Chains A and B, each alone.
Chain A
Amino acid sequence: AQTVTQSQPEMSVQEAETVTLSCTYDTSESDYYLFWYKQPPSRQMILVIRQEAYKQQNATENRFSVNFQKAAKSFSLKISDSQLGDAAMYFCAYRIDAGGTSYGKLTFGQGTILTVHP
């Protein structure tokens, strides 16, 4: 079974600085997708970034980037130039690539609470 582990229950960062959130996963599959979701205190879960396992290039979305290490089964999220609005719970998630009818299960990690200090 696939598992996703976020080993940092809480992290903090100063505004404008950089923080990295860790995620590891366990799978025997070779084709899959990885996601980082953000859940602010208002509770709306928002997709931050997505990585296809078959792509060697790390995904980037503005200030958010990932360090995807397939062999190590590691998928960390780097937030650059942190802003107060980045404060939230961050979830790492995994989904198998089920091909043409992919409505597969998302497996989530436990989450990391990120605090941003002004």
Chain B
Amino acid sequence: ETGVTQTPRHLVMGMTNKKSLKCEQHLGHNAMYWYKQSAKKPLELMFVYNFKEQTENNSVPSRFSPECPNSSHLFLHLHTLQPEDSALYLCASSQGQGSSDTQYFGPGTRLTVL
């Protein structure tokens, strides 16, 4: 596979469930990102990892827990979510260095919280 992949593409979960979103990049990048895309709102940056270190947590509630075991993989662990957390969750990656750094996105996971 090439580019940035995300699994699952769709996820339905109850408020008491625990689930994880997975992102994998095949671009040799060093930085990875989680974004939340809600209807009629701009994309919101959630987390940034650069060289496996978390460098940004954009005031995200603790029910979202990111994990970056290596530069190619990024997870978002979900627990006790709320219905308002239903959204499209996008992963992106970039070189993570250089002023011309450009982010490339995965297809997203459509999350529905019941």
User: Is B105 within 8 A of A45, CB to CB?
Assistant: yes
> Nearest-CB distance from A75 to chain B (Å)?
15
B25 contacts the other chain (CB 8 A):
no
In the docked arrangement, what's the CA distance between A55 and B5, Å? 33
> Nearest-CB distance from B2 to chain A (Å)?
12
User: Is B96 within 8 A of A103, CB to CB?
Assistant: yes
Give the contact-size bracket for chain A. 20 to 34
Stretch from A63-71, A77-85, A94-102 that touches the partner: A94-102
For A92, give the chain B residue with the smallest CB separation.
B42
Question: Which residues on the B side are within 8 Å of A35 (C-beta)?
Answer: 102
User: Is B105 within 8 A of A105, CB to CB?
Assistant: no
Binding site for A on B (CB under 8 A): 30-31, 40-43, 45, 48, 50, 55-56, 58, 88, 90, 92, 94, 96-108, 110
Binding site for B on A (CB under 8 A): 4, 31, 33, 35, 37, 42-47, 50, 52, 91, 95, 97-111
The list of the 4 closest CB pairs from A to B, nearest first, reads A45-B105, A103-B31, A108-B43, A103-B96
